[in-house]
Structure 1
Amino acid sequence: MRKVIGIGETVLDIIFRDEKPISALPGGSTFNAIISLGRSGVKASMISETGNDRIGQNIIKFMESNGIDASYVNVYPESKSPLSLAFLNDHNDADYIFYKDHPHDRIDYVYPEVNADDIVLFGSFFALNPVIRPQVYAFLDYARQRGAILYYDVNFRASHKNEVMKVTPNLLDNLEMADIVRGSSEDFEILFRQHDADTVYRSQIAFYTKKFIYTRSADPVEVRGDSGFSKQYPVLPTETVSTIGAGDNFNAGFIYGLIKNGITRQHIDQGLTESQWDALVLSALDFSAECCRDIYNYVSEEYGEKMRKGLQNNGL
């Protein structure tokens, strides 16, 4: 089976409602997607770092228990694992505060093997951070040369808005590397002060890649593709408990769709058809809706088992 390789941060997510902590669980944008993919029967690994503490040990155990290859997670001596505090509002959307042991803000690793048609998921500030940029860029360049499909989730938080100018060159490099770019309306408001999918696509994305996904919380998803393809997809109505993992699991569902539907590097280069876009976005929306039904940042084990059987039925 083709495999998925995620590169990104791992954190402990502490979730608050009415200013009281209600949950603490392993998280991180790419991490959440990789866990959902592992539960769904996809062969996946994670390149990351964690602290030499109880939290780091639990994160690695959690990954392994969900079928993820954690051998590329670096544990640094005398370091502490990062924390993310998520405060849910009345609509179950979150505001965040992040705590990180910045003196240990680095990453050293051995690359996992990457083959043609494997999928690399990257994004958030981790993919822009100047401190670890040389290592991240080197891996992305290696994966691209090996024929992998690169999926970039911009995921730029407001907490980094004062660093936009500093990281813009890295952002442009990421857009040029990526085959598929997904970003939210909030991302592009912070980065470019632009509010419209077409404006963002024409002025910021299309020069680098033609495959663009623009999400807007509960509003319809906008897709732009090769040969002027443009389509809007309504979000599935869902009774939400938490939206923290909504975007991460949209990514997971899209990548699951790439594998289940046999969409390869060749299809990406040729340009996706409308029916392929339909299947991919439907899968993405389904994963996202499933995640939002509970407090966790990933799809349930029961849902994952159903998705696993879907792959098996396709001979994967």
Structure 2
Amino acid sequence: MIIGIGETVLDIVFKCGQPKSAVPGGSTFNSMISLGRTVGRLYPEVPIVMVTQIGKDMVGDIILSFMRDNHVSTHSVRCLEGIQSTVSIAMLDGNNDASYEFFRDSDAPSFEGGKIEFHPGDLVLFGSFFAINKGTREATKALVSEARAAGAIIYYDINFRRSHLLDLPSTKGFIEENCALSDIVRGSSEDISYIYGSDDADLVYREHISPLCTTFICTRGAGCTEVFSAGAKAVFDVEKVETVSTIGAGDSFNAGILFGLLKEGFTKEKVGRLAKEDWEKLVPQAAKFSANVCRSMDNYVDPDFFEKAL
């Protein structure tokens, strides 16, 4: 299976003060939809599972229907009576980068996760503030720990936003604990700059990440992608893309890496010692996912992406 653990929202996207689109979103959710549109079509025997919590309301119905339409299982979605599903407002700037404001139900109970039977070789994705927030962390950590014990490959996307800097003193330990639970850690240059005061990926990997997790991906938006593992370091240029929206670009990059791990049949042991030639199979593939997302207002790859690019 490929399992995502995280928040699900309805993104209402504005540009120049006007609404442009309304689509289901959430960092891990976006990745799972991209995987549903690729793995779900090319490898239908591999279940794509999203573990999340929503309200039993109109927004929740939209989300559930969208998941089913895109080959993502709803069996591990907790639908709660009497609460409202989360809505976010995403404001695009002149570079088509987004800033967010979230509207959550303050009465919603803490995330409880759910019962998943993990297996060796499963791929598990988690991250963002969801993985360190006090209302969602404990259940998320329990699921990830269970997956790790079962032999699943754990992928952690740090995805730490400027708006959470005031929380850093109380959450930095959680971030590092998440890294220690993981087989692959992905962070943007902004993430590591906020957390460690430097965007020098070599320095941050050597002093902070590698003692916790030997495999690290640092993305730099339209710049390069730097990768580190026990077996290699490599740098990849990023294709120049005329963007419509960058929402979901990093999320679909994550999906592309997971797709590549599945496609290449990489084991948990292999992930810990990826060589340069392995990264040459994974990163360009992930970059295709990311570039495709930037060309539309959607948060995920096109429905026919697997026909055009894979």
TM-score by length of 1: 0.93
How many residues were matched structurally? Answer: 304
Asked whether the equivalents of residues 51 and 114 of structure 2 are also in contact (C-alpha less than 8 Å), the reply is: no
One of 97, 114, 127 as aligned partner of 2:118:
114
Q: 1:77 & 1:132 partners in 2: Cα distance? A: 19
Letter of the structure 1 residue corresponding to residue 261 of structure 2: L
**Aligned-pair distance for 1:192?**
2.0
Aligned to 2:145: 141
Asked whether the equivalents of residues 7 and 53 of structure 2 are also in contact (C-alpha less than 8 Å), the reply is: yes
Q: 1:24 & 1:182 partners in 2: Cα distance? A: 27
1:5 aligns with 2:7: no
Q: 1:236 & 1:303 partners in 2: Cα distance? A: 17
Aligned to 2:302: 300
Q: 1:105 & 1:84 partners in 2: Cα distance? A: 19
* Deviation by residue 1:227-255 (Cα, 9 ceiling, x = unmatched): 4x221100112121111111000000010
Aligned to 1:40: 38
Aligned to 2:79: 75
Give the ranges of 4+ consecutive aligned residues of structure 1 lying more than 6 Å apart after TM superposition: none
Aligned to 1:275: 277
One of 288, 294, 310 as aligned partner of 1:286:
288
Distance 1:60 1:226, change over 3 A: same
Q: 1:192 & 1:56 partners in 2: Cα distance? A: 37
Q: 1:188 & 1:176 partners in 2: Cα distance? A: 16
Aligned to 2:258: 255
One of 16, 19, 23 as aligned partner of 2:21:
23
- SS of the residue corresponding to residue 23 of structure 1 reads strand
- The two structures, once aligned, show a CA RMSD in angstroms of 1.3
**Aligned-pair distance for 1:194?**
1.3
Aligned to 2:57: 53
- SS of the residue corresponding to residue 24 of structure 2 reads strand
Asked whether the equivalents of residues 130 and 167 of structure 1 are also in contact (C-alpha less than 8 Å), the reply is: no
* Deviation by residue 1:66-93 (Cα, 9 ceiling, x = unmatched): 1111111111111111112111111111
The residue correspondences of 1:84-233 to structure 2 (distance < 5 A) are 84-227=88-231, 229-233=232-236
Q: 1:100 & 1:162 partners in 2: Cα distance? A: 19
Asked whether the equivalents of residues 291 and 299 of structure 1 are also in contact (C-alpha less than 8 Å), the reply is: yes
Asked whether the equivalents of residues 41 and 305 of structure 1 are also in contact (C-alpha less than 8 Å), the reply is: no
Aligned to 1:63: 67
Asked whether the equivalents of residues 60 and 70 of structure 1 are also in contact (C-alpha less than 8 Å), the reply is: yes
**Aligned-pair distance for 1:305?**
4.1
Indicate the percent of aligned positions where both proteins have the same amino acid.
43
**Aligned-pair distance for 1:206?**
0.8
> Greater shift after overlay, 21-30 or 229-238?
229-238
Q: 1:272 & 1:193 partners in 2: Cα distance? A: 28
Distance 1:17 1:259, change over 3 A: same
Aligned to 1:240: 243
Q: 1:174 & 1:245 partners in 2: Cα distance? A: 22
- SS of the residue corresponding to residue 126 of structure 1 reads helix
Letter of the structure 1 residue corresponding to residue 280 of structure 2: D
**Aligned-pair distance for 1:193?**
1.8
Asked whether the equivalents of residues 76 and 114 of structure 2 are also in contact (C-alpha less than 8 Å), the reply is: yes
Q: 2:58 & 2:307 partners in 1: Cα distance? A: 29
Distance 1:152 1:109, change over 3 A: closer
- SS of the residue corresponding to residue 21 of structure 2 reads strand
Unaligned stretches of 5+ in structure 1? 311-316
